[in-house]
Amino acid sequence: MSSATLSLNDAHQGNLAGWLRSPGAAGTMLVHGAALLAIWSFSSGVVKPPVAPPVVELIRLPPEPKKELVPPKPEPVKEKPVQLAPPKPVAQPLPVPKTVETSADKAETYTPPSPPVQAAPIGPATPVAPAPAQPPAPTPPAPAPRQIATEGIPTDYVNQVYARINSNTDYPREAKMRRQQGKVGYRLTLNPQGVLISFDIESSGVEALDEAARDAIRRAAPFPRLPDLGGSSYLLAGNIVFKIN
């Protein structure tokens, strides 16, 4: 075989390999294969339905939707109480002095003060003798206590005292059984309010009668308030008479 024939075969094989790799080679081979299969089936006496060549369909799937990532909700941040600083003092603007226009003849002239005159040196101070203390003013003497006797007391008040003492007098049972009688004299010292300050008695000679008179005076006190007579104390004299009828 010559080199030209080899070159032609190589070229034919190269074209055949390129054709097989082409997109339509597969379809052409399928058609020819089907035809050969039909001829073989017909020659064998069995009629078989032609087998449809498999069709390969390329289905383009839609891209899956991307899931949106929901960021987690941020936790609420607790706000710290804001401490307000105390307000700064505002400086008050200084008042601007007003300038009043005036004429030269009405303007006031300023005369500088004269220099101070130096005082003479002061020598040692001479102590001043304190003034003699004035004697205190004499206190007026207290008024002498004034005691008003029975004669200076209104009669109606004296009778109230007598009646009060007599209504509180009890005749001693022992003296009554012994038929003892007598008169007990008394003197009462009262203050202006009728309070009994003191009293004394003039004995009747019978102790039971004297004790009955003392009890009667104690039970009768205090007495009504005396009228305003200007006295510091009042002296009332009277008698209690014990007599069996």
User: Is 70 exceeded by the pLDDT of residue 117?
Assistant: no
Percent of the chain scoring above 70 in pLDDT? 44
- What type of residue is 156? D
pLDDT digits (tens, 9 = 90+) for 219-243: 999 999 999 999 999 999 999 999 9
CA angle, 134 then 135 then 140, to 5°: 135
**DSSP label at residue 149:** -
Lookup: tokens for 162: 């007598």
Buried/exposed code over 208-222 (b: 16+ C-beta within 10 A; e: otherwise): bbbebbeebbeebbe
* Average pLDDT over every residue of 147-168: 95
The whole-model pTM stands at: 0.43
pLDDT digits (tens, 9 = 90+) for 14-40: 555 555 565 555 556 665 666 666 555
Q: Which of 173, 157, 163 is nearest to 216 (CA)?
A: 163
User: Is 70 exceeded by the pLDDT of residue 114?
Assistant: no
| Extended beta strands in 105-232, E state | 147-148, 182-190, 196-202
